[in-house]
């Protein structure tokens, strides 16, 4: 699969069957909210884990020196926490371009956690970059991922900034993700 997924996303998934569209963010969508939304709510999805296994040619790296950014890996029994946004269908024109480097939209159940702690299940949308896309980098140790991140930058800035901003946004949500905190710990010894 080509890394540029804009046309695929816009042709394969219509959003007409939704009365409310909830976009679940697990990476930069948690801290870089450059799109209008109707409401937002802390949320989680089941059966997925956040991993820095996707290459970034266009934001936190270059085609010659791709950075490492977050994607989701299917893993039974896992839970991935993030932020859900209720958006209109038009926002996907911008989002498909922003996340064009290998990410495809998928539909999954999203569990919204409201202010009183109750959970509400909705059909939601996530972006996933799987191993079929040509920018995929795959698994490595947290130590090796930190060393990789320390040496990458792209048009959106330092790769390390992406990791640190995500770690801080998760902390604000009260979420501990051991994969992210271990990468950050190794990174702190390098930069
Ligand atoms: C997210 O934060 O959900 C996200 C991260 C990278 C690409 C697409 C979405």
- 53 CB contacts (<8 Å, ≥6 apart)? 68, 71, 73, 136, 137, 138, 139, 140
Q: What local confidence, expressed as pLDDT, does residue 81 receive? A: 98
Whose CA is closest to 67, among 95, 26, 28? Answer: 28
pTM of the predicted protein model = 0.95
Q: Return the best residue to mutate from 127, 159, 167 for the ligand 1 pocket (most ligand atoms within 8 A of CB).
A: 127
Residue identifier of the C-alpha nearest atom 5 of ligand 1: 27
Residue identifier of the C-alpha nearest atom 2 of ligand 1: 27
The CA distance from 172 to 167, in Å, is 9
Domain boundaries, the chain: 6-188
- Across the chain, which has 191 residues, the per-10-residue mean pLDDT values are 78 82 98 96 98 96 97 98 96 89 95 96 97 96 98 98 98 98 98 89
6-188 fold: Hypothetical upf0131 protein ytfp (3.10.490)
């Amino acid at each position: 699969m080509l890394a540029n997924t804009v046309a695929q996303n816009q042709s394969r998934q219509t959003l007409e069957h939704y009365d409310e569209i909830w976009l679940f963010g697990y990476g930069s969508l948690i801290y870089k909210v450059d799109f209008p939304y109707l409401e937002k709510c802390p949320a989680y999805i089941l059966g997925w884990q956040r991993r820095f296994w996707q290459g970034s040619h266009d934001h936190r790296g270059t085609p010659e020196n791709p950075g490492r950014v977050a994607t989701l890996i299917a893993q039974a029994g896992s839970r991935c926490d993030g932020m859900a946004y209720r958006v209109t269908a038009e926002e996907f024109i911008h989002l498909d371009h922003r996340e064009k480097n290998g990410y495809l939209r998928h539909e999954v159940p999203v569990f919204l956690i409201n202010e009183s702690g109750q959970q509400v299940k909705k059909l939601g949308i996530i972006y996933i970059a799987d191993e079929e896309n040509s920018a995929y980098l795959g698994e490595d140790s947290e130590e090796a991922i930190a060393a990789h991140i320390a040496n990458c930058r792209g048009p959106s800035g330092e790769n390390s900034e992406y990791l640190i901003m995500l770690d801080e946004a998760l902390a604000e949500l009260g979420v501990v993700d051991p994969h992210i905190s271990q990468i950050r710990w190794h990174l702190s010894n390098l930069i």
